Amino acid sequence: MPTLTYRDALNQALREEMQRDPNVFLMGEEVGVYQGAYKVSRGLLEEFGPRRVVDTPIAELGFAGIGIGAAMAGLRPVIEFMTWNFALLALDQIVNSAAKMLYMSGGQIPMPIVFRGPNGAALQLSSQHSQAWEAWLAHIPGLKVVAPATPADAKGLLKSAIRDNNPVIVLEGEILYNTKGEVPEGEYMVSIGKADLKREGRDVTLICHSKTVTITLKAADALQEQGVAADVLDLRSLRPLDEAAILASVAKTNRAVVVEEGWPRCGVGAQVVDVIQRDAFDQLDAPVLRITQADTPMPYNKQLERAAKPSPEKIVAAARRVLYLE
Amino acid sequence: MATATAPPQSQDQSQTELHRQMLRQMLLIRRFEEKAAEAYALGKIGGFCHLYIGQEAVAVGSLTVLRDDDYVICSYREHGQALVRGIPANAVMAELFGKATGCSRGKGGSMHLFDVDKRFMGGHAIVGGHLPLAAGIGFAIRYRGGDQICLCYFGEAAVNIGAFHEALNMSSVWKLPVIFLCENNRYGMGTAFERVAAITDVAEHACSYDMQAETVNGMDVLAVYEATQRAVQRARKGGHPTLLEVRTYRFMGHSMSDPLHGVYRTKEEVEEQKKRDPITQLAHKLKDDGVLGQEGLDAIDAEVHAEVDAAVRFADESPDPAPDELYTHVLAD
């Protein structure tokens, strides 16, 4: 199986889907001539031309809405946001137009559109460029939200997203783009809504997604050295949420820690904890703990930024607490 | 427009028929909206309900120009456009009543009328939010190489929101076949346009986007018709968008919860504007042309009255959506 970067896996998914379906097009800032702010769209302008690889002005609300309008008329747009931080300007279109079109038209207008781009913090980009929006987006009925952690999932989930007849949010990550992994060639799809058990253990369930998968696996390694075997569950999809996978793991371990990049209040982890307390109450041996970003804007200073973010050490400490080892 | 030679008789007849049809459609809207107001007062229609009374010439004059395969997209004051586009009065009224037989199955309501078969792509209720959607529909038309156009209606208050400028800019840059038709009825809810807009001639905004524009008397259905013809021609031929500012006036409040003239405009102003009633104007013209007398007019009025009465009965007798409809159409299969 070929080894690809996450960036090239996304590129492959886009290329294959654009080859397969002439209705698929890519639109966003710098996606064409510049080859993508993070080079995800490298070579696509040359292969598909400016009709299907469309450079836009810096006008997120406008081009998100244009994508939605094109989907109303039967195309399958892929809208790239340079980062999800800028997509807040487009939130009205995503929430009020894309997510509700099918419903308020009484089922007449499906909305096959993908909104994708990097989400969450990279390194020292400070407050306005270091935000994880999945809790906001997963709140909205009518959207699907996926957050691939590996190159294979990036390809498989993006292909599934493009073929889905609903608006799908694909959350990527600047620091994921260079990561490498094996990626199946050709027709490789990952079902939206299925979590992936990355590692099996019996003592504690560590639940994570996107960039936090890497640090959670590191934490699981460290716990292993301390004699603690962790289940590591990568949610992959936040809406729909694979509740069955969460409950199956907790039924086995009776303890859980939920990790995410976002802020603690009303976060993805809060939703996961709600599922666990409701449907696995009798199986719990300890309160579920959460690891999140600090409840602050992201600071620029390197040490402060490190302190704000989830880390393997924080996850290990939380796992030890739910095991009553501290 | 004056011509040196008289048009042939057949063209004359088709003109007459066109004018008669326009009058009928304006009357249909007027009577429909009057009934909607009654039904609202009776509690049969809920939520927000924005009536089109006074603005009928805009929808009728412009939509008469379109082909069946063109697209239409509107703001939340769209009952008139829906009727002219050919959504049956029954289905529109039933939607206002929230019934399963409504054109959006009772899930959209007054502000979200849809009929995809008529390429009626919705009423949209976030001011200005549907202008980028219109540009997107234009983008899809151009993408496929079609010669359809998208006609987008919005109020003058939408001109102050960013989405207007983003949509016009990209439509012009990409030569999208979209007509941005601004129904300037002078008031965004209760705020007079000149109180909140630095440029009050909406058409002037087109300069910023190197776009064709025209200002039209929206109380004259034929003027709206002719200006729309010119805009449609530009859009079909070269995909050039147009900004049409159609100056109109609403005779009713902003919505059903707003009194007739409120504190933001005077009774005298409203009464003065009613003298420009687009229906009366066209009726006078047809009378002067010797095309339609009082009797003919009364016959048309009786006909649309019957149609609207039937729509109210239909809506009233229609079932509510089944309880499980709450959870359908959240996601497509």
3-state secondary structure of A19: helix
Same topology, domains A3-182 and A196-322? Answer is yes
Rounded to whole angstroms, how far apart are CA atoms B203 and B85?
Answer: 25
The residues in B 227-256 lying below 8 A from A, measured between CB atoms, are none
In this predicted structure, the answer to whether residue B11 has a pLDDT above a threshold of 80 is no
Higher per-residue pLDDT: B261 or A322 = A322
Annotated catalytic residue within A29, A60, A172, A260:
A60
Across A147-151, average pLDDT:
98
In this predicted structure, the answer to whether residue B1 has a pLDDT above a threshold of 80 is no
CB contact under 8 A, B333 and A165: yes
Q: Helix crossing, B130-144 with A60-72: angle to 10°? A: 60
Percent of residues, chain A, with pLDDT higher than 90: 100
CB contact under 8 A, B166 and A165: no
Percent of residues, chain B, with pLDDT higher than 90: 91
Substitution target in B112, B131, B137, B164 with the highest count of A β-carbons within 10 Å is B137
Choose the closest CB to B170 out of A59, A93, A105. A59
Q: How far is A100 from chain B (nearest CA, A)?
A: 8
The sheet with strand A237-239 has its strands ordered as: A53-55, A24-28, A76-80, A114-118, A168-172, A144-146, A237-239
pLDDT at B259: 80
Residue in B closest to A25 by C-alpha? B143
Residue in A closest to B126 by C-alpha? A96
CB contact under 8 A, B332 and A110: yes
Decide: B331 and A103 in contact? Cβ < 8 Å. no
pLDDT at A326: 84
Q: Judge whether B65 is closer than 8 Å to chain A, CB to CB.
A: no
Q: Judge whether B151 is closer than 8 Å to chain A, CB to CB.
A: no
Rounded to whole angstroms, how far apart are CA atoms A236 and A232?
Answer: 12
Across B173-198, average pLDDT:
96
Q: Judge whether B173 is closer than 8 Å to chain A, CB to CB.
A: yes
In this predicted structure, the answer to whether residue B9 has a pLDDT above a threshold of 90 is no
Across A242-263, average pLDDT:
98
Residue-averaged pLDDT of chain A: 98
Decide: A29 and A40 in contact? Cβ < 8 Å. no
pLDDT at B2: 42
CB contact under 8 A, B331 and A109: no
Contacts of A191 (CB under 8 A, 6+ apart): A160
CB contact under 8 A, B105 and A107: yes
pLDDT at B293: 93
In this predicted structure, the answer to whether residue A236 has a pLDDT above a threshold of 80 is yes
Does A139 qualify as catalytic in the annotation?
no
Cis before A240? omega within 30 = yes
CB contact under 8 A, B106 and A106: yes
- What stretch of H or E contains B184? strand B178-184
Report pLDDT digits (tens) over A7-44.
999 999 999 999 999 999 999 999 999 999 999 999 99
pLDDT at B3: 45
Residue in B closest to A109 by C-alpha? B116
Does A261 qualify as catalytic in the annotation?
no
pLDDT at B13: 84
Q: DSSP per residue over B205-262, as a string?
A: GGGGGT-EEEEEETT-HHHHHHHHHHHHHHHHHH---EEEEEE---SS-SSTTS-SST
Residues paired with residue A94 on neighbouring β-strands, in sequence order: none
Domains and CATH numbers, chain B: 48-320 (3.40.50.970)
Residue-averaged pLDDT of chain B: 95
CATH number for A196-322: choose from 3.40.50.920, 2.40.110.10, 1.10.10.350, 3.40.50.300: 3.40.50.920
Percent of residues, chain B, with pLDDT higher than 70: 97
Substitution target in B116, B329, B333 with the highest count of A β-carbons within 10 Å is B329
Q: How far is A18 from chain B (nearest CA, A)?
A: 14
Measuring CA to CA, which residue among A120, A117, A106, A115 is closest to residue A143? A115
Measuring CA to CA, which residue among B183, B185, B193, B179 is closest to residue B243? B179
Residue in B closest to A54 by C-alpha? B174
Largest CA distance in chain B: 65
Rounded to whole angstroms, how far apart are CA atoms A161 and B2?
Answer: 58
Rounded to whole angstroms, how far apart are CA atoms A216 and B113?
Answer: 48
pLDDT at A190: 98
Report pLDDT digits (tens) over B111-129.
999 999 999 999 999 999 9
CB contact under 8 A, B170 and A56: yes
Q: Judge whether A139 is closer than 8 Å to chain B, CB to CB.
A: no
Write down the domain spans for chain A. 3-182, 196-322
Cα distances (angstroms) measured from residue B19 to each of A73, B281, B284, B306: 32, 12, 12, 21
Reading the block at residue A36, the tokens are 């993508």
Report pLDDT digits (tens) over A72-85.
999 999 999 999 99
pLDDT at B8: 54
Substitution target in A79, A103, A143, A163 with the highest count of B β-carbons within 10 Å is A103
Q: The domain A3-182: what is its CATH number?
A: 3.40.50.970
